[in-house]
Chain A
Amino acid sequence: MSGNGDSTSRRALVALGRDPLAVTGGVVLALLVVAGLAGSWLAPAGINEVDVDRMLQPPSWAHPFGTDELGRDVFSRVLVAARVSLQVGAVSVGIALLAGVTLGLFAGYYQGWLDNVLMRCMDVLFAFPVLLLAVAIVAVLGPGLSTAMVAIGVVYTPIFARVTRAGVLSVREQVFVRAAVATGASDLRIMRRHVLPNIAAPLIVQTSLSLAFAILSEAALSFLGLGVQPPEPAWGRMLYDGRGFITDAWWLGFFPGAAIFLTVLAFNLVGDALRDVLDPRQLTVSEARRNAG
């Protein structure tokens, strides 16, 4: 978050590059981003090109992922659906990040009654099973992509609030924060300039892990028919539609399911690697290992 040639972030990047799992995750994520940005342009067939003569064909050179019950190319639909997953991930985690960090920052900085009120509200949200809460919110707001994104954002807000608050509690006791108070800096300035940059590491890790869960949650909501509405392709929805053909046409469910699996795995790999790299104690362990070996 502070950026500008910070040697810590440069060191973190170098360490990430040495981790084969992180590199694998990174490559998958890069492919996902390409698919998300250029999916409809790269897709060999239109996502809604219905062709009843080519219904339920197994994977072949012409249709690598086969065709569905309406003769649509599954590969093209999986490719295009990447955009939905990315969009959901970015928007819902964006909402959770913004709301959670703001709440956690104020709660941790001011403590006292504000902290109690905010964090007890977060605890209540946190107590609900993720999907149940998301379904309840969608039920109130009505199904659709945007309400699903809001619902997922709300559901993941408490975890960001908690991670942020925990970081703020340790950073605000640092002498450099007292030094900033002593120069006459305002609370907002101290939070923005001193506290936030120093808790960026756990937040970055949490963001990458939450992206995985947000995409998974969207798939679940779409599977339940509460997310993306047909004929727009979404992995969760495709999984649901393929359910009825699981014995005759396994490829209908397999490929969207594999896409979800790989995406979540990739975010988790990168998130775990980031956690190892950005945690200073972990860094010294890996440095020690390198020095020893």
Chain B
Amino acid sequence: MTGESVATDAVAELTDLAVWFPTPAGMVHAVDGVSLTVRRGETLGLVGESGSGKSTTGLALLRLVEPTAGTVQVAGQDVTRWSRRRLRRLRRRVAMVFQDPQASLDPRHTVGASIAEPLAVHRLAASGTARRDRVAELLDLVGLRRDLAERHPHELSGGQRQRVGIARALAGEPDLIVLDEPIASLDLSVQAQIMNLLRGLQRELGLTYLFIAHDLAAVEHMSDRVAVMYLGRIVESGTPAQIWREPAHPYTAALLSAVPVADPPVQRSRQRIILAGDVPSPIDPPTGCRFRTRCPQARPDCAQTDPVLVEISSGHQAACLFAGGAVRAMRAQPTNASSP
């Protein structure tokens, strides 16, 4: 995920991506220098608070937002400057599942019409019969009854609707599926079903996912690799095991310490790192390290130097001047952290 050249197994690669939005209050730096690679067949989890830029990063992979700087490569092709017409081909290669399945399905279209939309757009079905057969096949894949094709979204439950959203994403046989908080608006019991469905489909069809979420447990469960975002930057990346066992960035450590443990004695004895203050405005991010305004271990250097991702162990990177050390120090004296 550093400057490694386009690996042959890279489905998508972002290099120094920046996405800025002009607003009346100033330029919002939603994404500000993100580089990441999604490899074929893996799930890359992208985790962060709301406003961290994780969803914008996902949208940039389909060029649904305009990159201000940096490049977007999909299947080895640089799509950063593609025309609107060519972008339609990109959007067959990369599909998306949205957070709110109710809002992302046209209320006037039947389930079948929604699922068939990519088939119609990219002329993937030779006839009406072929299209209906493919829709039936896709409904089978996502575990829905075939007769639901005739229904409208409002007749379905939340979980069923999200299955329809997934079927639509699968229809064009994409190289990469961007899952933008696909379970965040679902009931807890349904969340597990949808996650299992997504993992099952991945095994069966060899899919590649960019899994965007703020739910740490879901990200750990789903992902082969994880990238943690804070204020438009990736602050740490690695395998779930590396990150959950040895978080190297103070932000990651704080995030993980906020997850409750379902074991009261353990939960009571845990050290919680409570961050002071709010996320700074992305219009005017802090100088140097962006996390320094809330970091319990911030030192004078942190305001001067903008930390880059450095390799801590194989495949594990963190963007902290004192990577590892800061976290150890935090754990040694957690009370420091809770002072406002």
Contacts and interface: CB of A to CB of B under 8 A. Distances in A.
Interface in A1-26: 2, 4, 6-8
Interface in B51-66: 62, 64
B144 interface: no
Interface string B88-127: 1111100110101001111111100000011001100000
Given A184-B88, A184-B92, A184-B118, A179 B152 contact: no
Nearest to B118: A183
B168 interface: yes
Given A182-B91, A184-B118, A185-B117, A197 B108 contact: yes
A175 B121 contact: no
B92 A175 contact: no
Contact of B104 (A175, A189, A198): A175
B87 A184 contact: yes
Interface string A181-212: 11111100100011001100000000000000
A247 interface: no
Contact of B117 (A8, A178, A183, A197): A183
B156 to A, nearest CB: 13
A203 to B, nearest CB: 14
Contact of A6 (B90, B91, B152): B152
Given A179-B98, A182-B91, A184-B89, A174 B103 contact: yes
Nearest to A187: B84
Interface in A146-194: 174-176, 178-186, 189, 193-194
B169 to A, nearest CB: 9
B125 to A, nearest CB: 14
A185 B106 CA distance: 14
From B62, B105, B108, residue with most partner A Cβ within 10 Å: B108
Contacts of A174: 103
A198 B103 CA distance: 13
A189 B103 CA distance: 19
A184 to B, nearest CB: 4
Interface in B205-229: none
Contact of B64 (A4, A7, A182): A182
Nearest to B119: A183
Contacts of A7: 152
B106 A198 contact: yes
Nearest to B96: A182
A178 B64 CA distance: 8
A8 B110 CA distance: 13
Given A175-B98, A178-B64, A189-B121, A183 B91 contact: yes
A185 B171 CA distance: 14
Contacts of B90: 184
B172 interface: yes
Contact of B172 (A176, A180, A183): A183
B152 A186 contact: no
Contact of A186 (B88, B165, B168): B88
A283 B106 CA distance: 20
B79 to A, nearest CB: 13
Contacts of A193: 106, 109
A175 B180 CA distance: 12
B106 A176 contact: yes
A212 B88 CA distance: 44
Interface string A59-87: 00000000000000000000000000000
A188 to B, nearest CB: 11
Contact of B106 (A182, A184, A186, A194): A194
Given A6-B108, A174-B103, A176-B105, A181 B64 contact: yes
B108 A2 contact: yes
A2 B104 CA distance: 18
A197 B110 CA distance: 13
A176 B88 CA distance: 17
A55 B6 CA distance: 96
A189 B108 CA distance: 15
Given A175-B100, A183-B91, A198 B118 contact: no
5 contacts: A7-B152, A183-B118, A184-B88, A185-B88, A198-B108
Given A183-B118, A198-B107, 8 more contacts: A176-B105, A178-B64, A179-B168, A183-B168, A185-B88, A193-B106, A193-B109, A197-B108
Interface of B: 62, 64, 87-92, 95-96, 98, 100, 103-110, 117-118, 121-122, 152, 165, 168, 172
The 9 closest A-B pairs by CB, nearest first: A184-B91, A175-B103, A184-B88, A197-B108, A176-B106, A179-B104, A175-B104, A182-B96, A2-B108
